[in-house]
Structure 1
Amino acid sequence: MKTISRVIFSAILLVLTGLLLAIGAAAPAPMFDYYQEFSQKALSVLSGLTGVVPFAVWEVLALLLILWAIYTLIECLRRGRVLRWLSGVLVTVCTLVLLFVALWGLNHFGPTVGERMGLETRPYSVDEVYEAALWYAEQANTLATQMPTDSQNVTQFSDFSTLAKSAGKGYTVLSRQYDCFTEAGATVKKLTAWPLYSYSGITGIFIPFTGESNVNPDTYAASLPFTMCHELAHRQGYAAEDDANFCAYLACMASDNVEFRYSGAYSAFVYCYNALHSADRELAAQVWETASEQVRADCAAANTHYAKYEGKVQEVAQEANDAYLKAFDQEDGVQSYGAVADYLIALYLAQKTA
């Protein structure tokens, strides 16, 4: 294909992508039942193919693609065909973007997990946030007593592989309680190039092209089971980060594995505490005092763990992720991760009045 033909083909792909996004943004909620069914079936086939090996297939494919790009660049430079190489890169990128949107990306415009479960959120008073934070602190305190600790009172967890085998159990339970969940049809895989992800601030990533839910093994231990369930939530079709976080909490608490239940309660406490801290530091301090020494030790250890990776690389990665989320109608960008507190407070209030 000649250079000009590649440019024209890329333009066509971009137009098709734009049309899909426009349809997704304007489509009524019922349409997403059909899209999600298509998306889940396609992802099931892909994850079935890639699931036969324990490693993340997409990492291998990405490496091969990079090596091929370098090789072809060298060849094109030698022959004076740089524009030809650039047009090839353009076609590849446009093709991947179209496939991403068609396979999974439109889930960003679908009904939220709250809408599917009939759980409404609204602006909350400081007192309501305070009560919810207390409730999740108590939940974490209770479950912490069932977990082993080290000499520093930091909670100890099983290794990555052991946890990964149990990650989908909560979704199996949820699928029997709610129509908006299905059994986890794929396992969680370990990211091999974890230092790169750690310095980028990435704890997990879902890849629609291969149907793989991937988690950084360097994620702080108390958050690891929760993160696994978060990435499996993306596999369920919940693209928004606050939705995936709430699904992760529900899946953790539905699990018969106490490691997952504690991770879910610990994460919920952290999100609600942070929300309260932003609104009223004095009340947040009161909630902090109710947290057990073990829970507080986990919070401190997590801060220490992630602090060593802070830097320019993480800032750039955060900005890129922020731009991606906003492009898919998540106006809060990276702040949407913490927006799960709204769901958690709504759940607390619903159970309080039940």
Structure 2
Amino acid sequence: MYAFLGWLGLIAFGWGAWLFIPGFRVFWLHELAPAWWQFQRMLTGWLPFSLGDLGYVAVLLWVLWQTYKCIRRWINKGWQFRIWGRWLWQMMLATCLMYGWFQLGWGFAYLLPRIQQSFHLQLKSYSRAELQDLAQWLAAATNTNYVQQKPESEANRIAYFRENVIPAAIEAYHQLHLEGATGMYRHPSIKPSLFRTALNYMGIEGYYNPFTGEAQVNTDIPPVLLPFVTCHEMAHQMGFAQEYAANFVGFLAATHAHDSLFRYSAYLDMLLYACNSLRHDGHTDDSLFLHQLWESLLPGVKRDIHEIYAYEQAYAGPADRLVMHVYDAFLKANQQRRGIHSYQQVIALLIQYKKQIKEHG
């Protein structure tokens, strides 16, 4: 009980300091949190498997075991408030422990406008003409950087991911750091997820584990997406919590990579975001514009888009819709008002970024 109350007090102190002591926010962002994130990666980076995934399995098994014991006592001894009260107490303790660990070590990052502070970009509204101009720019860049998939990327995706994608992604962030865009990325901890089959049906390409600092990637996705998804998850490790922020920083890292496949992957992924925005805007002449944009793409680019679409359709179903609803609620609870649609907000940043390129070169 004393430990539980002490932990609650620590959470309350953290929230109070965050809300009422501006200096604590600066200290958390520049000193405490980066040191904690690097320490996490130091502890888990050397492991060839995902410790966080095993932790999720252990927590699930523990919950199921405690629930089974509670139901068994209920059947044997009948209804007793003490039995269910003990179970509720255990669940509350576990939830409180995980929430505190999450919030104090990672959750505050959702409240920080990192993109605005680091890159001086704003989530401004944009016109349809600006969106079309961005889509044309991305299509041209996608064609320019097109590279055919390497045969080994299909033969053994996990080995290809570990031996090719991870080292190139680390080098990409090193290049981004040399240009002064981000801090140094140290102590890599990037793993193929252990739940790849389940992730396919849930529509998840990758995720960051705030409890262990690991970046997990679903290596079953089309290989052309692996470079950008890896850079996206690494952006979370750098403290860019919002999904649009991780998208943008991942895009910057991938487009600064020496490996042309990374540049192609980033431009292609952002092109799909721009096309989705145009498709959902509802303007009558956007269908003609999208048709013309499609016709401008190289045959190899079209094949890759067909592969991505075929992969998504093969696993589409109730599981991915349920997960999207749950994750939408999670994002909204963490100050991302647009929920799952916050990924799409990267378009507003790219339009501003494109203007910066035009103005400053």
TM-score between both structures, scaled by the size of structure 2? 0.86
The equivalent of 2:27 in structure 1 is: 34
> How far did residue 316 of structure 1 move?
1.1
> How far did residue 178 of structure 1 move?
2.5
> How far did residue 73 of structure 1 move?
3.5
Matches within 5 A, 1:192-203: 192-203=194-205
Query: Which AA in structure 2 matches 1:298?
Result: D
The equivalent of 2:257 in structure 1 is: 255
Instruction: Answer yes or no: is 1:312 the counterpart of 2:318.
Output: yes
Instruction: Answer yes or no: is 1:302 the counterpart of 2:308.
Output: yes
Instruction: Answer yes or no: is 1:243 the counterpart of 2:245.
Output: yes
CA shift in 2, pair 1:256/1:87, >3 Å? same
Aligned Cα root-mean-square deviation (Å): 2.6
CA shift in 2, pair 1:218/1:326, >3 Å? same
Take 1:310 and 1:298, find their aligned partners in 2: how far apart are those partners?
Answer: 18
The equivalent of 1:345 in structure 2 is: 351
Is contact 1:188–1:212 with CA below 8 Å preserved after alignment? Answer: yes
Is contact 2:38–2:186 with CA below 8 Å preserved after alignment? Answer: no
CA shift in 2, pair 1:236/1:290, >3 Å? same
Query: Which AA in structure 2 matches 1:167?
Result: A
The equivalent of 1:45 in structure 2 is: 39
The equivalent of 2:162 in structure 1 is: 161
The equivalent of 1:69 in structure 2 is: 63
Q: Secondary structure at the match of 1:168?
A: helix
> How far did residue 74 of structure 1 move?
3.5
**Partner residue of 1:332 out of 338, 341, 348:** 338
> How far did residue 212 of structure 1 move?
0.5
Q: Secondary structure at the match of 1:308?
A: helix
> How far did residue 104 of structure 1 move?
0.7
Query: Which AA in structure 2 matches 1:336?
Result: S
**Partner residue of 2:185 out of 183, 186, 189:** 183
CA shift in 2, pair 1:271/1:22, >3 Å? farther
The equivalent of 1:105 in structure 2 is: 107
Is contact 2:143–2:301 with CA below 8 Å preserved after alignment? Answer: yes
Take 2:99 and 2:315, find their aligned partners in 1: how far apart are those partners?
Answer: 29
Q: Secondary structure at the match of 1:214?
A: strand
> How far did residue 298 of structure 1 move?
1.2
Is contact 1:137–1:266 with CA below 8 Å preserved after alignment? Answer: yes
> How far did residue 186 of structure 1 move?
1.5
Deviations 1:231-265 (A, max 9, x none): 10000000000000001100101111122111111
Query: Which AA in structure 2 matches 1:301?
Result: E
- Larger mean Cα displacement after TM superposition, 112-121 or 46-55: 112-121
Matches within 5 A, 1:1-40: 9=4, 17=11, 20=14, 24=18, 32-36=25-29, 37-40=31-34
The equivalent of 1:137 in structure 2 is: 139
The equivalent of 1:282 in structure 2 is: 288
The equivalent of 1:57 in structure 2 is: 51
Count of paired positions:
342
Deviations 1:129-172 (A, max 9, x none): 1111111111110111x33478xxx9x99822121222222111
> How far did residue 53 of structure 1 move?
1.0
**Partner residue of 2:229 out of 211, 227, 230:** 227
Query: Which AA in structure 1 matches 2:341?
Result: Q
Is contact 1:134–1:290 with CA below 8 Å preserved after alignment? Answer: no
Take 1:218 and 1:294, find their aligned partners in 2: how far apart are those partners?
Answer: 20
Take 1:171 and 1:327, find their aligned partners in 2: how far apart are those partners?
Answer: 30
Take 1:247 and 1:203, find their aligned partners in 2: how far apart are those partners?
Answer: 17
Is contact 2:17–2:24 with CA below 8 Å preserved after alignment? Answer: no
> How far did residue 200 of structure 1 move?
1.3
Is contact 1:276–1:283 with CA below 8 Å preserved after alignment? Answer: no
CA shift in 2, pair 1:236/1:193, >3 Å? same
Deviations 1:57-91 (A, max 9, x none): 01112222333333333444444533212211111
> How far did residue 312 of structure 1 move?
1.3
Deviations 1:81-139 (A, max 9, x none): 33212211111011101110100110011123143112334222222111111111111
Unaligned runs of 5+ in 2: 75-82
Unaligned runs of 5+ in 1: none
- Larger mean Cα displacement after TM superposition, 172-181 or 302-311: 172-181
Take 1:211 and 1:234, find their aligned partners in 2: how far apart are those partners?
Answer: 9
> How far did residue 13 of structure 1 move?
5.6
Query: Which AA in structure 2 matches 1:316?
Result: L
CA shift in 2, pair 1:318/1:148, >3 Å? closer
